[in-house]
Amino acid sequence: MKSVDVIVIGAGAAGLMAACGAARTAECKVVVLEKMPRPGRKIMITGKGRCNFTNAKPWNEFSQHIHPKPNFLKPSFYNLTSEKMIDFLTEQGMESVVERGDRAFPTSHLASDVVDALLRAAESAGAEVLCGKEVREILRCAQDDRKVQDDRKVQDDMEPQGYTVKCSDGSAYSCKKLIICTGGLSYPKTGSTGDGYKWATQMGHTIKTLFPSLTAIVPKGYKITEVSKGHIDRSTPCSEIGGMLCGNQLKNVGLSLIVDGNTAEDEFGDMDFTDGGIEGPIGFKISRKCVNSIINGSKVYVVIDLKPAVDLEDLTVRINTLWNEIAKDKRSANKLYKDRFKILLTKVLPMQLIQGFMKLNPNIDHKSLPKALKNWKMEVDGYVGYERCVVTAGGVSQEEVSPKTLESKMVPGLYFAGEVLDLDANTGGYNLQTAFSTGYLAGISAAKSL
């Protein structure tokens, strides 16, 4: 059995930063155990391989994108801010560029450069990163039975002397401090299979309800499925309607989430119709509340405002003007109403969207068109699950972990960082920065406590 000071389980964003934090803080032996053949597998697919690794917003703006309680992240963030993370990667030879929405990317737009920089930083600090090491069991070492005497009572000193970590290949490691950075359940092919939740539960921790977030939401009739109100696998084929809508990218539209008849969230920006359903930046933003509402049995709708910059009255005037111009055009003189209406649609909608829009709004005419454009309502049947969601919501309860150190309040010497915690964020670089910041603070805290 190999004995070290700190073991980090998981070589993702949080795990590699935890290794850096621990190895840079004290002269201690740090080992990272990663079950996949290579580190940073999930980072590699972030941002479709471009890797939006952080967001440069200051805390007062950054925190608005964190769930469920952003103040838990505050000590970690100030210890390693977005600006410091950009500088950290620059020190490792990776240049960055900040784009629209304060989103930071490697200048190369290659996720592999982020992984290489993190791995280089961990190893240069002295940490040993071992891949192909699937952890099967974690054991707390024998407790000390010494007595501590004070004026009021005699109590057992129950602090454990360390941990033994056993791997599936038969190897075993012992350590004084253990940091769990195993991620969540999203994209299980990258190695995120929820192992950390199991170990946390075994050690007495509470796991807040887990559900997929930043995922595709599936309108009714979009997929060929009998599933009603729940998980609809990404691979489920699109229906005729889904096929008509799939591939449309909508810029600068409004998207509202309606839960049990009440508006739960309003967003403005870009959204996509994909083979999964409704995605894109604002589709992902509303997905957290949408999925949670469906799980809780609520009736859920989305409403798309295709013309958010124009109010209904002005849009009505504009469309009536266009309709009159079409009627007066000599080329329309002998055309049927439906043909003239199609001409009108080409003037207010992207060509590729018209067929799907008409399929879902079969009874509209030029008089009802303005309202349909401002209030395109779809019932939501379900959502894409962990197989393709970006992040897992829920996790190890914040109440049971110290935000100043990320150490368990229940088990001394045990730390949590990253997605395994009940801590998730919107799309835009916030989740990776959360992983970097919590990982780094957990590593520093573990090393300082040796």
Write the DSSP symbol of residue 354: H
Q: What pLDDT digit, counting tens, does each position of 259-276 carry?
A: 999 999 999 999 999 999
Torsion of CA 159, 165, 166, 172, to 10 degrees: -110
Query: How far, CA to CA in Å, does 136 sit from each of 5, 133, 171?
Result: 20, 9, 10
Query: Model-level pTM?
Result: 0.93
Q: Is 373 helix (H, G, I), strand (E, B) or coil?
A: helix
Q: What is the mean pLDDT of residues 70-83?
A: 98
What is the rounded distance in angstroms from the CA atom of residue 432 to the CA atom of residue 397? 19
Contacts for 310 with CB less than 8 Å, ≥ 6 apart = 318
Where is 28: in which H helix or E strand? Answer: none
According to DSSP, the β-strands at 262-273 and 249-259 are: antiparallel
Q: What pLDDT digit, counting tens, does each position of 397-435 carry?
A: 999 999 999 999 999 999 999 999 999 999 999 999 999
Angle between helices 82-91 and 430-448 (to 10 degrees): 80
Using alpha carbons, select from 135, 85, 88, 89 the residue that is nearest to residue 110.
89
Kindly state the tokens that stand for 261.
């008849």
Burial 54-93 (b: 16+ CB within 10 A, else e): bbbbeeeebbebbbeebebbbbbbebbbbebbbebbeebe
Using alpha carbons, select from 356, 361, 375 the residue that is nearest to residue 277.
356
Q: What is the mean pLDDT of residues 42-63?
A: 96
- Which phi and psi (to 5°) does residue 128 adopt? -105, 120
User: Contact 185/390 with Cβ under 8 angstroms?
Assistant: no
Where is 220: in which H helix or E strand? Answer: none
According to DSSP, the β-strands at 54-55 and 103-106 are: antiparallel
According to DSSP, the β-strands at 177-180 and 6-9 are: parallel
Where is 228: in which H helix or E strand? Answer: none
What is the rounded distance in angstroms from the CA atom of residue 447 to the CA atom of residue 450? 5
pLDDT of 147 reads: 35
- Pick 324 or 150 by higher pLDDT: 324
User: Contact 161/192 with Cβ under 8 angstroms?
Assistant: no
What is the rounded distance in angstroms from the CA atom of residue 225 to the CA atom of residue 239? 9
Q: Does residue 13 carry a pLDDT above 60?
A: yes
Q: Is 395 helix (H, G, I), strand (E, B) or coil?
A: strand
Domains of the chain by start residue, with CATH: 2-211+393-448 (3.50.50.60), 215-389 (no CATH)
pLDDT category at 108 given cuts 50, 70, 90 is very high
Q: What is the mean pLDDT of residues 366-393?
A: 97
What is the rounded distance in angstroms from the CA atom of residue 279 to the CA atom of residue 236? 16
Q: Does residue 143 carry a pLDDT above 80?
A: no
Q: What is the mean pLDDT of residues 337-343?
A: 94
pLDDT category at 333 given cuts 50, 70, 90 is confident
pLDDT of 142 reads: 59
User: Per DSSP, what are the bridge partners of residue 380?
Assistant: 219
Torsion of CA 125, 130, 133, 138, to 10 degrees: -30
Q: What pLDDT digit, counting tens, does each position of 277-297 carry?
A: 999 999 999 999 999 999 999
pLDDT category at 150 given cuts 50, 70, 90 is very low
User: Contact 183/42 with Cβ under 8 angstroms?
Assistant: yes
Torsion of CA 269, 270, 272, 278, to 10 degrees: -20
Kindly state the tokens that stand for 186.
């999203």
Write the DSSP symbol of residue 274: -
Identity at 101, one-letter amino acid code = G
Q: Does residue 300 carry a pLDDT above 80?
A: yes
Poorest-confidence range of 66-75, 137-146, 366-375, 410-419? Answer: 137-146
pLDDT category at 160 given cuts 50, 70, 90 is low
Residue 237 preceded by cis peptide, ω within 30? no
- Which phi and psi (to 5°) does residue 123 adopt? -70, -35
Q: Does residue 240 carry a pLDDT above 80?
A: yes
Write the DSSP symbol of residue 329: S
